[in-house]
Amino acid sequence: MPLGFFASAGHTALTPSQASAASQLPVAPHEIDAVLLTHAHLDHSGYLPLLVKLGFRGPIYCTPGTADLLRVLLPDSSHLMEEEAEYANRRGYSKHHPALPLFSSDDVAGVFPLLRPQVYHEAFDVLPGVRCTLRRTGHILGSASIELRWESDGKRLVFSGDLGRWQRPILRDPELVPAADVLLIESTYGDRLHAKDPAEHLARIISQTAHRGGTVLIPAFAVGRVQELIWTLRKLEDTGRVPLLSVYVDSPMAIDVTALYCQHPEDYDEEVAQAMREERCPLCCQQYHLLRTVEESKWLSDRRGPMVIIAGSGMMTGGRILHHLRQRLPDPRNTLLLVGYQALGTRGRALQEGARTLRMHGQDVPVRAQVESIDGLSAHADQAEILRWLGGLERAPEKTFIVHGEDKPAQTLAQLVTERLGWSTEVARDAQTVPLFTTRPAPQPATGAADAASAQEPARRTQSIEGGTASP
* Whether 71 contacts 108, CB under 8 Å: no
Compute the average pLDDT of residues 345-374.
Answer: 92
Would you state the pLDDT for residue 20?
53
pLDDT in tens, 418-467: 999 999 999 999 888 888 776 544 434 433 333 333 333 333 333 333 33
Name the β-bridge partners of 127: 130
* Of 100, 49, 56, residue with least CA distance to 76: 49
Contact between 356 and 318 under an 8 Å Cβ cutoff? The reply is: no
User: Span 178-193, mean pLDDT?
Assistant: 96
User: Is there a contact between 257 and 72 (Cβ–Cβ < 8 Å)?
Assistant: yes
How far is residue 57's CA from residue 70's CA, in Å, rounded to a whole number?
17
CB-CB contact of 147 with 176 (8 Å): no
- pLDDT confidence of residue 245: 94
- The mean pLDDT value of the chain amounts to 85
Averaged pLDDT for residues 42-70? 94
Residue 27 φ/ψ, nearest 5 degrees: -130, 135
The pLDDT tens digits of the residues spanning 296-352 come to 999 998 899 999 999 988 899 888 999 999 999 999 999 999 998 888 889 999 999
Q: pLDDT exceeding 90 applies to what percent of the chain?
A: 61
pLDDT tens digits, residue range 94-133? 677 787 878 888 999 999 999 999 999 999 999 999 999 9
210 close to 336: Cβ distance less than 8 angstroms: no
More confident residue, 143 or 282: 143
Do residues 77 and 85 touch, judged by C-beta distance below 8 A?
Answer: no
Q: What is the pLDDT of residues 257-278, one digit of tens each?
A: 988 998 999 999 998 888 888 7
pLDDT score, position 375 = 76
**Banded pLDDT at 3 (limits 50, 70, 90):** low
**The predicted structure's pLDDT at residue 433:** 86
Cis previous bond, 98, omega within 30: yes
Q: Name the β-bridge partners of 371.
A: 336
**Collapsed DSSP state (helix, strand, coil) of residue 286:** coil
Beta carbons of 139 and 224 less than 8 angstroms apart: yes
pLDDT at 451: 38
Which pLDDT value is given to residue 78?
A: 84
Query: Is 180 in contact with 396 (CB distance < 8 Å)?
Result: no
**Are 168 and 143 spatial neighbours (Cβ–Cβ below 8 Å)?**
no
**Quick count: other Cβ atoms within 10 Å of Cβ 188?**
22
Residue 194 CA to residue 386 CA, distance in Å, equals 12
Contact 204, 300 (CB under 8 A): no
Cα 321 from Cα 217, distance rounded (Å): 9
Contact 40, 140 (CB under 8 A): yes
pLDDT exceeds 80 at position 88: no
Return the bridge partners of 216, or none: 308, 335
CA distance 208 to 212: 6
Q: Are 215 and 306 in contact (CB under 8 A)?
A: yes
Which of 83-92, 369-378, 444-453, 454-463 has maximum average pLDDT?
Answer: 369-378
* Better-predicted residue by pLDDT, 184 or 343: 184
Residue 221 main-chain phi, psi, to 5 deg: -70, 135
Is the model more confident about 28 or about 442? 28
Q: What is the pTM of this model?
A: 0.81
Peptide bond into 78 cis (omega under 30): no
CB 329 within 8 A of CB 365: yes
Average pLDDT over residues 203-207: 96
| Phi-psi group of 129: left, alpha or beta (phi > 0 → left; psi -120 to 50 → alpha; rest → beta) | left
